[in-house]
Every structure is written in structure tokens, then in C-alpha cells.
Amino acid sequence: MQPNQQSPIQAVFMVPPKVHLLDITGPAHIFYEAACYGAPVKLLFSTIASQQTEAVSSSLLAFHQLTPYDKLALKPGDLIFVPGLDKSLLLENTFIDSTRPFQYWLKAQHQNGVTICSVCTGTFLLAAAGLLDNRNCTTHWKYADRFKKLHPKARLQTNRLFVQEDRIYTSAGVSSGIDLALYLVEQIWGAHFAAQIAKEVVIYFRRTIDDPQLSVFTQYRNHLDNRIHQVQDILSQSLEHKLSIDQLAAEVNMSARNLTRSFKKTTLITIGEYLDKLRTERAGQLINEGHSIQAAALHCGLKSANSLRHLLNNQHSLSQ
């Protein structure tokens, strides 16, 4: 559905000390664009300490004219985003203890009907408040072991982009905060409106609540060969087209033989294997979004639904 002129939703973005910039600016920009497209939403930026109106990010960019959390007046249906912060604070028990008043407030807001969201290591603040006890959640893969040790009552889900339970959303890392914001826009104002926002911010494909943290679209990229990266970009952005090895090689000024050999040496899989993995993941996303198997097959450059079924069966067998 399209946004209507209902009472505006307040989307509050907390700004803790040493906040990670994209954790807060990514989701905030999604809601800013939603407002530009007519969604009844008001953006607010707040600190997690009483009387504090300024904060400095981990990148040393400063924030001013912030509203202390205890000066906010929120209502059921409003949103609070708690972003990640620098590990130097995250690993300090004294810092976590110093945020106890904010934790009590956060828990009270949830009890009053406000939706609570965390990005990346912001999950630690939600867990410290007791919001994740006996609830499913996720956090950045790098801090999963520490999270489990500190918060054994939380049911941590690993390799998940974001997790939803009882109006609490936790997301895995920097870019997944944007995915989460788009998902919330869709839940509140509909899929068509969310697609408009995704197009406005030029997001090639939207990841969903069921997608893994470590997507094949970002795997096999831990190398420094620019030409192989370029080939991977072409493949991931042109799944609906059937490109030959000769065509790919011409795009990066290599011979087909040299490209085939270099790709395998650099990524440890062949171009064909990589393309099959891309198609499998993209097809899964499309099917989960409600597309038919035939439509998903065509979008992924396959001739028929049977071709896609065969590919999915083969990939499933390889993963066993």
C-alpha cells in the first residue's frame, strides 16, 4: 500500500559514543528517502546518556544538537535503532555498566509498544538490557563467540542477516542495517513502496530476512585481482544473459584460456561453478519473494523451470 497521512511514525536513531557511521546513516537514509516519497515518518537522533547532546563517531565525525534519550516521547509503533560501536567500548564492562539507565529505558519502551532494532554490535546493548533473553537474535559473525559467552540466555542465530522476534529486530552488520530498514519500510508501507525506495538509493537487489550473512555475492572476493573482480561483477549483474567465456575474456582484455586458468587459481572454483552458485542464491531469493520457478529460471539465464530444478538439486547434493 502507499503511505497515507496517518500520525507520523517516529524513527529514532541512537548515537552512542564511537558509533559506526554506516550503522546509523545507512538505515537513517532509507527512512529519509521514505519521508521524501511521502511516508509519514519523522527522523530523530538521540544520545544514550542523560543530559548529553553531542557525540563523536568512531571515524571522528561529530554529531551535535542530539536529544537525550530521556527527553523523547515515544508511542506504540515508533522505531528505535541502536547501531554498532567501536570494539574498544564494546569490550569494556565499565562502559556497558554505565549505560544501565538507557538499558532500563529501552526495555520500558519495548514494553510500551515501541519496536526496537539493532545494527551489528548494537545487539550487545539490547542483550545487556535483557531484551534478548529467551529470544532469537543475531549479531556480527566476528563477535558471535563473545556474545554467546556474555549472554547465554539469548538464542543467537549465526549466519543470518537479521532476525525478528516480538517487535525486536537484530541485524548482523553494516550493510544489513540497510537491508533491515528496507524490510521495515516494506512491512509498514508495502512492497511496492519499498521497491521505489530501493530503486531511489540504487540497491541492485534486496536481501531478505532469510538470506545468510555470508552471501555468495560477497564470497570468493578475498583477492586483489582487479580483472577477476570485474568478471565477478559482470556475472552477478547479468544473470539473465548467457555470456560465453570468450565474451567475458574480451571484457577484461584476456584470452579465454588465461581467464579460465586465472579465475580458478584466484577463487579456487571455476567460472561455471561460480555462476551456478550465483544462480542458485538469486533463484532462491526470487522464489522466496513469491516469483514462480519459471520466472526465477528466466531471470537467472536458464531456459526452463526444469533446468532450475536440476541446478538446485545439484547444488543441494554438493552441499550435503
| pLDDT at 217 (0 to 100) | 60
Instruction: Please check whether residue 175 is in contact with residue 26, taking contact to mean a CB–CB distance below 8 angstroms.
Output: yes
Cβ burial, residue 51 (10 Å; 0-12/13-18/19+): exposed
What cell was used for 304? 526452463
| pLDDT at 43 (0 to 100) | 96
Q: What is the set of domains in the chain, with CATH numbers?
A: 9-200 (3.40.50.880), 226-319 (1.10.10.60)
Q: Which of 41-45, 198-202, 290-294, 295-299 has the highest mean pLDDT?
A: 41-45
Beta bridge partner(s), residue 171: 162
| pLDDT at 282 (0 to 100) | 84
Instruction: Please check whether residue 140 is in contact with residue 148, taking contact to mean a CB–CB distance below 8 angstroms.
Output: no
Instruction: Please check whether residue 314 is in contact with residue 280, taking contact to mean a CB–CB distance below 8 angstroms.
Output: no
Diameter over CA atoms, the chain: 65
Q: 168-171 and 162-165: which strand pairing?
A: antiparallel
| pLDDT at 5 (0 to 100) | 46
Angstrom distance (rounded) from CA 40 to CA 51 = 29
Instruction: Please check whether residue 149 is in contact with residue 113, taking contact to mean a CB–CB distance below 8 angstroms.
Output: no
pTM given for the model? 0.67
CB count in 10 Å sphere of residue 53: 14
One DSSP character per residue, 54-70 reads -EE-TTS-EE-SPEEGG
Please check the confidence at residue 251 and state whether its pLDDT lies above 60.
yes
CA proximity to 140, closest of 153, 159, 127, 155:
159
